[in-house]
Chains A and B, each alone.
Chain A
């Protein structure tokens, strides 16, 4: 008896016991589908977050440390000279741009409305470095920075609250901030709160009219030449500033250097662990499916003991019986695996189609099916088939025909 014949007998056996076959497969289908889907969702979340953060991943933010070192020198503020030192190309090969920023809370008012905003003063590069976009008008330029022009660019929440939904409606109007009047020259696109409730103006404009003079800055934004250069750039920043602030002990640093990249790495690490964990949970369900298959194959073999006796009596060899049951369970597991893959991939695709309709938070979310998860879960289901079928099949094949025939 050749293999094709064995496959045919096995298929016929499965078709003869349709309900049982389907139920057996169900465990594997659900297991495989959930492994694939959960891994895909994990990957989707990761790439969605990466996609949002990647453009900002080469940014380094430097802020003054809060708090004082007991017994140490009073902390120094970050000042324009620090910015200038960092801007010196000789200081670092890994820093592409450095801009200062001052910021604080203030009310932004029209005649009829007022809105609590974060006012930021910076240079014309601010929009570019923060990867922002304009939805109406334009950002202020270098000339306006130099001339301390009384212009302001509003975040979308501020503009729509004060001037209505259409961002263009805000243009050329004036707003009052800290009882000073500024002309609105642009409205930015949404980046999500709290980044939408801001008003940005030239650095010295903000100093002169809102925060008071001085050369203090609240924040320095440095852009590394590329995301992978961030650690080197961070070191350069620390070196330059420590030098300028005469800091010998790292614990006494009066500034903090933060980058999204290191946070992104941490986040990705956490997410990988989570994805692995959910995949492990799904793998457990696959394992439970495997026990289901084993159980049903055992019952199936016992239930068909008589059939085995008949087949042996009319000439089936031990190997023929073994093949029949082994192929039956392999086909069950393989078919279950394939359907599970189809279901898992299908649900992932459905997820990526439906996600954007759930709102802007999910706009870039798309579950990403990975080949290893597909290959691995299919391989596991075949192994399940081999083991779950092999054991009872071997038992069945060993039965002596008269014993099997006598079985009621």
Chain B
């Protein structure tokens, strides 16, 4: 379970201060599928970075499964990222010149888990890339790279899957495939948070949080999940 209590984030650039988040309160239960929407610059990525323990709030509390993650050391945050969180970025962020299966293995390497090759293969097969194991990122299409990224995000069996505009760089067919994968992961009980600009993607979520100027503008639960392929 995720709890944000009055979270703020201020970026300091020399003398200029940019307040990206103004007192965010948000609770996300285990197993939810949440879409975060909002105009550019409204603080979505900032929020996501805090949720994913890539950054810490300037003030307020962030409870991840009861632990306050807002005041943890670099190392503890790395451990949490390694054990609980899976990331999918808009720009894929695969390690260059490293094969697909190796990329998928990496989180297990840093978690200190042995016998990684098979889980990595299975994860790749799960996203439909069983035949692309040895390909380098630059030998894969955008959609394929994003699927490798999803395989990498889920290999650690994370309870929280975060996707920052995962379909932003993809065409509709590839987007639909990514959404289907994320939906399937949610069906397996994982918490999934997706940042998106696209209404079709939002329509796919059970709950939509809308942001504006660093605040939550609305937080609606939808009746049922519609398929985004429509």
Contacts and interface: CB of A to CB of B under 8 A. Distances in A.
Interface of A: 1-2, 5, 9, 12, 16-17, 306-307, 309-320, 400-402, 405
Given A314-B81, A314-B152, A9 B109 contact: yes
Contact of B109 (A1, A17, A400, A401): A1
B88 to A, nearest CB: 11
A311 B87 contact: no
B54 A318 contact: no
Interface string B81-111: 1110001010001111110001000110111
B52 interface: yes
B55 A402 contact: yes
6 contacts: A306-B93, A313-B93, A314-B87, A316-B110, A402-B49, A402-B55
Contacts of A9: 109
Interface stretch (B58-66, B72-80, B182-190, B218-226): B72-80
B106 A317 contact: no
The 10 closest A-B pairs by CB, nearest first: A315-B82, A16-B97, A315-B110, A317-B78, A314-B107, A401-B54, A316-B110, A310-B93, A402-B54, A315-B81
Chain A contact residues: over half helix, strand or loop, or mixed? Answer: helix
A317 B109 contact: no
A320 B109 CA distance: 10
Nearest to B76: A317
B110 A314 contact: yes
B184 to A, nearest CB: 21
B14 interface: no
A311 B95 contact: yes
Nearest to B93: A310
B165 to A, nearest CB: 14
Nearest to A304: B96
A28 to B, nearest CB: 23
Interface string B37-51: 000000000000100
B156 interface: yes
B112 interface: yes
Contacts of B112: 1-2
Given A401-B54, A405-B54, A317 B110 contact: yes
Given A313-B93, A315-B110, A316-B110, 17 more contacts: A12-B102, A16-B96, A306-B93, A310-B95, A311-B95, A312-B78, A313-B81, A314-B82, A314-B106, A314-B110, A314-B152, A315-B81, A315-B83, A317-B78, A400-B74, A401-B55, A405-B54
A318 B73 CA distance: 11
A310 B106 CA distance: 10
Nearest to B52: A313
Nearest to A320: B110
B214 to A, nearest CB: 17
Contact of A307 (B79, B96, B102): B96
Contacts of A405: 54, 89, 93
B83 to A, nearest CB: 8
Contacts of A310: 93-95
Nearest to A314: B107
B49, B55, B78, B106 — most chain A CB neighbours (10 Å): B78
A5 B102 CA distance: 13
A46 to B, nearest CB: 50
Contacts of B96: 16, 307
Contacts of A313: 52, 54, 81, 87, 89, 93
B109 to A, nearest CB: 6
Contacts of B83: 315
B81 A318 contact: no
A316 B83 CA distance: 11
Contacts of B55: 400-402
A309 to B, nearest CB: 8
Contacts of B94: 310
B168 to A, nearest CB: 15
B97 A316 contact: no
A33 to B, nearest CB: 30
A402 B57 CA distance: 13
Given A5-B109, A320-B110, A405-B93, A315 B98 contact: no
A61 to B, nearest CB: 73
Contacts of B79: 315, 317
Contact of A1 (B75, B89, B110, B152): B110
Contacts of A320: 110
Nearest to A16: B97
Interface string B113-125: 0000000000000
Contact of A318 (B75, B89, B107): B75
A316 B78 contact: yes
Nearest to A18: B97
Contacts of B98: 12, 16
A180 B95 CA distance: 96
A312 B102 CA distance: 16
